[in-house]
Amino acid sequence: MDTLHDLLYGFSVALQPGNLFLVFVGCFLGTLVGVLPGIGPVGAISILLPMTFQMESAGAIIMLAGIYYGVMYGGSTTSILVNVPGETASVVTCLDGYRMARQGRAGPALGIAAFSSFFAGTIGLIGLQLIAGPLATIALKFGPPEYFAIIVLAFTFITFLSRGSSLKAGIMALVGLILSGVGLDPITSQQRMTFGILNLFEGIGVAPLAMGLFGVAEVFNNLETVVFKKSLAVKIKDIFPTRLDWLQAKWAIVRGTLVGFFLGILPGGGPVIATFIAYGVEKATAKNPERFGKGAIEGVASSESANNAAASTSFIPLLTLGIPPNVVLAVLLGTFLIHGVLPGPLLIKEHPDVFWGLVGSMYIGNAVLLILNLPLIPLWVQVLKIPDKILYPLILLFCLIGAYSINNNVFDIVVMVIFGIVGYLFRKTDYEGAPLIMAFVLGPMVEVNLRRSLLISQGSFSIFFTRPIALGALLVSLVLVIFMYRSFRKRNRSDHTIGELEKTTNSGL
């Protein structure tokens, strides 16, 4: 009954006229960002973050969260109609969704994507509502050693589950940790890596850094990429799936929801990995796996349900432990801190309006997205026709205005531009920006909890091995590091063997 009472309180916060309007704004902007290729939720939240500075904390977080899960919905529309994923988590939807559209079944594909997203998102929210309270109670018993070990585990998972090279992801995380140390020492207040620059005394701002790495760098990258936005000349009809469609897709929705539910909680997991794994599970368990990639409705259902379930449950570690499981929520963590709200085990007690208001707004937003998405499909198709020469200058303009408005300081614009160029170079060399921003946000937490632990133990590292939770987290991290090292050695050995064979072949010729 307490949970029901708290949820009703959350609805009372979310249904306030101002917050309800922000739910609509967040969902609409999120869907728009999902439709436009390349921008993504990180760039969108980074660009719009300065707009929230004059808002109340609950309203600001409600709007930015709406952008996040709105993107998960919007990306499926262009994946199905245009074969261009609006964001990375919608890549898998292209495989079968676009094939269905070419077969004249764009309506059922869009319909099953919307309904499976709604179902999975709702199940994820129920999990968030039920798990968050008990997990926060357990987290209250955590001390600095436990938090340090869990954050180290999060770093390891992020590196282990990165889409590219684990070595490159580790390097980027190390760069993020170094950057997080710029400014004044949190315990002694000594200057660190400020080089006498007054603007660096408070450290590098997360908003200019994120806008540069993801917003500006994305624009630079897209300027040299040709994206074909040719939409299908089909009439969208029969949006409601048939009985046969439901029979084929029902278990795919359930399995995709379960995969997304658990991978969303996992640090470094999130919607992207969840969609690929859910699609793989569905194909492996299918009676006719050859149908996948040729217009199987189960492929659309599994990827979209995993996508949205993971988006909902990824809020669990952020809200209860203060540890963001993916890069989008790392930027959202910055929003919490800017508004003076500290996510963690005391969030529900100290800021119930923020926690339960967010949960209530996500239920409302889930329904809003279902109502908005299908009728607005013709609008989103027209949005895709906006010329790049108009779209990208507007994005850069919003980035410049946003960076300056944070502190009314030109230095933040300089930081954003520098990291925009650096982010562009990282993309050209296949270095991901996500581990860097995650390490940048979590770096101060790692340092403070490590130093507090050593102060408690009078300099002895044994404190990490006498606490069961801390020891368990560090052991899992060690196992993952060993596994990554062995995979790296195996890959190098394989590359060396291929190189030797090529040399032998060339010398023989």
Give the start-to-end residue ranges of the domains of the chain.
2-228+235-504
pLDDT in the model for residue 201: 83
Residue 6 to residues 130, 351, 352, 353: CA-CA distances in angstroms? 11, 12, 9, 10
Q: Please write the tens of the pLDDT for every residue from 224-235.
A: 765 545 544 455
Portion of the chain with pLDDT greater than 90, in percent: 0
pLDDT band for 159, please (50, 70, 90 cuts).
low
CA distances from 51 to 59, 63, 233, 409, 470 (A): 11, 10, 38, 16, 39
Q: Report the chain's terminal Cα–Cα distance, integer Å.
A: 79
Residue 19 has pLDDT above 80, yes or no: yes
Over residues 108-114, the mean pLDDT reads: 84
pLDDT above 60 (res 268): no
Residue appearing with tokens 């309180």? 9
What does the pLDDT look like over 269-291, one tens digit per residue? 567 667 877 887 887 787 887 78
pLDDT of residue 235: 57
- Average pLDDT of 214-231? 66
Residue 68 reports pLDDT greater than 80: yes
Residue 433: DSSP 8-state: S
* Residue with the two structure tokens 């998405």: 373
Residues of the chain with pLDDT > 70, as a percent, come to: 83
pLDDT the model gives residue 88:
62
Which of 10-14, 172-176, 263-267, 495-499 is least confident? 495-499
Q: How much is the pLDDT for 209? A: 82
Which range has highest mean pLDDT (79-83, 102-106, 172-176, 486-490)?
A: 172-176
pLDDT for residue 347 is more than 80: yes
Does residue 492 register a pLDDT over 70? no
For all residues of the chain together, what is the average pLDDT?
78
Q: Residue 141 pairs with which residues in a beta bridge?
A: none
Half-sphere exposure of 114 (CA within 13 A, CB side): 23
Higher pLDDT, 360 or 373: 360
Tell me which amino acid residue 87 is.
E
User: For position 384, what pLDDT does the model report?
Assistant: 63
What is the mean predicted confidence (pLDDT) over 455-479? 86
Residue 83 has pLDDT above 80, yes or no: no
Mean pLDDT in residue range 141-162: 76
What pLDDT is attached to residue 221? 78
Q: For residues 173-198, give the mean pLDDT.
A: 84
- Only one residue has tokens 């044994």, namely 462
Q: Identify the pLDDT of residue 491.
A: 64
Q: Is the dihedral of CA 498, 502, 508, 509 positive or negative?
A: positive
Provide the pLDDT confidence category of residue 493 given band limits of 50, 70 and 90: low
Task: Write down the pLDDT at residue 85.
Answer: 61
Q: pLDDT tens for residues 368-418?
A: 888 877 777 777 666 666 777 777 787 787 777 767 766 778 888 888 889
Count the neighbouring beta carbons within 10 Å of the beta carbon of residue 21: 13
Mean local confidence (pLDDT), 116-132: 85
Whole-number Å distance between alpha carbons of 407 and 333: 19
**In which band, very low, low, confident or very high, does the pLDDT at 297 lie, cut at 50, 70 and 90?**
confident
pLDDT at 400: 79
Q: What is the reported pLDDT for 310?
A: 85
pLDDT confidence of residue 320: 83
Distances (CA, A) of 197 to 10, 81, 182, 209, 223: 44, 51, 11, 17, 33
Q: What's the pLDDT at 507?
A: 53
For residue 133, the model assigns a pLDDT of 75
**Amino acid occupying residue 440:** F
- Percent helix, strand and coil across the chain, each to the nearest 5: 75, 0, 25
In terms of Cα–Cα distance, which of 324, 308, 305 is closest to 316?
324
**What is the pLDDT averaged over residues 248-253?**
86
Of the two residues 46 and 301, the one the predictor is more confident about is: 301
Residues 293-315 have a mean pLDDT of 85
pLDDT of residue 39: 65
Residue 482 has pLDDT above 60, yes or no: yes
Query: Taking Cα atoms as reference points, which of 257, 280, 258, 277 lies closest to residue 268?
Result: 277
Q: What is the 3-state secondary structure (H, E, C) of 229-241?
A: CCCCCCCCCCCCC
